[in-house]
Amino acid sequence: MVISRTPYRISFFGGGTDYPTWYLKHGGQVLSTTIDKHLYISCRYLPPFFEHKLRVVYSKVEEVKHPDDISHASVRETLKFLSIYNGLEIHYDGDLPGRSGMGSSSSFTVGLIQALYAFQGKLIDNHQLAKDAIHIEQNMINEIVGSQDQVNAAYGGLNKIQFRPDGEITINPVTISRDRVQALEGNLMLFYTGIVRTAEKVARSYVVDIETKEKPLMKMFAMVDEAIEILKNGDLDDFGLLLDKAWQEKRSLSKEVSNSNIDEIYAKALSTGALGGKLSGAGGGGFLLLYVPHDKQSVMRKELSHLLHVPFNFESNGSQIIFYDQHKEYKEEERSQVENAHTPFVELKDI
């Protein structure tokens, strides 16, 4: 059996510039971090005693004979990408719900690739892991997704990630003191709105005509460097104020990014003491990140008591294999014997 652990992420600035339709022309960059909430993928060898050859357990249970029959797109295409066609059982568990803006779909794909390479007895570096996940999601599944979530999940940490017009991706860790990191963590609050949405639907509303969004995207691009300068040398409260500016630019991309319910929650947060915030991910619902000075946080929890508050810290590690036990497969002749065996009928009689 193999078990991988992969972090979720929070994107602070630059989201939207990581879509290839944008950065392959203009370049893109984001400031983001992984957090200490994870999803787990376990893979084990499936003995040849069953009619199904593949078993996948998530919110559904799928038992099939071929990857083409799997409805979960990421599992289906990843198995095909790695040429795995039988003898496998996959289980998924996560600390946070899916479709909530925390990069869960890409973390799932990264964690699955990581686990399946290990299942095959292969090692893969972070860069290749991220590139494979991007390829599977963007080219095989054909989802409208950016490229930052896969990089975040693969590498982990607080990073400036740059996307170049030639397709190259560079990862630059943000080097600030541990005290500074802890101060930033201490001013951030995460609330679950309970609003479930599909990121692709929200992204489609502005990515299909992304060239018309040049002004807000250029501003969001520039905010990445501004935010890093604040983290290194400025007043951290300015980071919160910049989050508010970024959120207003993000809202201008599409009416799907926010809604009246979210706007009401955000307005209440600002009036209670938050300096800024944003919906994590593409928008539309999921988790609301707020920058709240520490002395305002107890009041904030009361004002937003109808939402689930999720404490978190930054995570420095990306996707990892946390358990590996080499499996022993049946030999071909053994598999044939099992598949052709007939179970005799045994009659039980009273003694």
Confirm whether 42 is domain-assigned: yes
DSSP 84-106: --SSEEEEEEESS-SSSSSSHHH
Confirm whether 62 is domain-assigned: yes
Instruction: Report, as ranges of residue numbers, the positions in the chain whose pLDDT lies below 70.
Output: 197-201, 331-351
Confirm whether 174 is domain-assigned: yes
Cα distance between residue 13 and residue 71, in whole Å: 34
Instruction: For residue 253, give the CATH number of its domain.
Output: 3.30.230.120
Confirm whether 108 is domain-assigned: yes
Cα distance between residue 242 and residue 110, in whole Å: 30
The whole-number pLDDT of residue 351 equals 33
Number of domains in the chain: 1
Q: pTM for the full model?
A: 0.91
The whole-number pLDDT of residue 194 equals 86
- For residue 146, the number of C-alpha atoms closer than 13 Å in the C-beta half-sphere is 34
Confirm whether 338 is domain-assigned: no
Q: Residue 155 sits in which domain range?
A: 2-324
The whole-number pLDDT of residue 348 equals 39
Confirm whether 333 is domain-assigned: no
Confirm whether 347 is domain-assigned: no
The whole-number pLDDT of residue 258 equals 86
Confirm whether 113 is domain-assigned: yes
